[in-house]
Structure 1
Amino acid sequence: MSAEPAGTRHHEYVLDEIDRQLLTLLQKDGRLAYSELGNATGLSAGAVRARVLRLQEDGILQVVGVTDPLRLGYRNMAMLAINVDGDIDETADAIGKVDGVIYVILAAGSVDLLVEVIATSSDELYEIINRRLRTVPGVRTVETFMYYRIHTHRFAWGVVPD
């Protein structure tokens, strides 16, 4: 089973202008009420609710609370550059199930996967990288890039126009 959200395996969805408006508004503030979204788009609150639910069901939209792990007690964060032998999807799926892994990217270039991890201590980070991730079948090499802090963390990039 893949650890990625539904709808992220390169499906092309047709969005109309209202969908784009809703996505842009929700990227800026995911807590907007359906009535506020309706006022901004000219739709009723019920029509907005139906569209937002469809966008969620299609895997286009997730409304979540975004946090900074470093401010929540996680003292160590790192990006791992991983090279794989064998089936990259199987290895990525296994890595995605490891506690402490917060995302996995299939990459192009000199590495196969980019993996972000968080830990409450250096000892825990060592455990995640050296005892859990390096032992996943298919993992050939792991290079670790420690974070000092998060400088830019952006989620409102807009929606691609027609």
Structure 2
Amino acid sequence: MARSLDVSEGTVRSRFRRLEEGGVLKITAFADPGRFGTARLALLFLKVAPEHHASVVDHLTACGEVSYVSSTLGRADVFAQVLVADDSALWRFLQERVRPLDGVLETECTLEVAVHKLWFDKDGSGRPGGAR
């Protein structure tokens, strides 16, 4: 990274630490769902009554099976990514821990089976630093 930016490694470490401490930067790992065997990586889309939105989000963020939660606009109000051991565990998680929550009006569950692209950038170019 230092070489590509033409700065010292110490400068990169310092900037990285400052961004991380400021909550701007977080390093995460993404697993390839196609390599999980029987484990299931599921994407949940929930329609939630407005007065229950915060409590549903709080519940999901506290679940060990849930790796990601966001509020969304469109067909769902809440999106969550869930990793469980197998189909049976996914069914139990939905039936016992998600659908009974106060305010959950609808659930949609999609299985993620392969990742074809994983890249985040601000300008939408799909290239590091917006290089063209």
- Whole-angstrom CA distance in 2 between matches of 1:118 and 1:45: 36
Aligned length: 123
* Residue in structure 2 matched with residue 56 of structure 1 by the alignment: 20
For 2:94, which of 129, 135, 140 is the aligned residue?
Answer: 129
* Residue in structure 2 matched with residue 77 of structure 1 by the alignment: 41
Report the identity percentage.
24
- Whole-angstrom CA distance in 2 between matches of 1:154 and 1:62: 16
For 2:9, which of 36, 45, 51 is the aligned residue?
Answer: 45
**What TM-score does the superposition give when structure 2 sets the normalisation length?**
0.77
* Residue in structure 2 matched with residue 114 of structure 1 by the alignment: 79
* Residue in structure 2 matched with residue 158 of structure 1 by the alignment: 121
Give the superposition deviation at 1:74. 4.8
- Whole-angstrom CA distance in 2 between matches of 1:63 and 1:110: 29
**What TM-score does the superposition give when structure 1 sets the normalisation length?**
0.65
Give the superposition deviation at 1:127. 0.9
- Whole-angstrom CA distance in 1 between matches of 2:102 and 2:92: 17
- Whole-angstrom CA distance in 1 between matches of 2:16 and 2:42: 34
- Whole-angstrom CA distance in 2 between matches of 1:101 and 1:59: 21
* Residue in structure 2 matched with residue 68 of structure 1 by the alignment: 32
For 1:92, which of 47, 57, 61 is the aligned residue?
Answer: 57
Q: 1:67-121: CA deviations, max 9, x gaps?
A: 2244134532322221112231231121121232221121112321122222221
Tell me the amino acid that sits aligned with residue 138 of structure 1: G
- Aligned CA RMSD, in angstroms, stands at 2.2
SS of corresponding position for 1:55: helix
- Whole-angstrom CA distance in 2 between matches of 1:115 and 1:102: 7
| Runs of 5+ unmatched residues, structure 1 | 1-36
Q: 1:120-162: CA deviations, max 9, x gaps?
A: 2111001111101112333222122233x1242312x33448x
Is contact 1:73–1:120 with CA below 8 Å preserved after alignment? no
| Runs of 5+ unmatched residues, structure 2 | 124-128
Tell me the amino acid that sits aligned with residue 83 of structure 1: K
- Whole-angstrom CA distance in 2 between matches of 1:71 and 1:143: 23
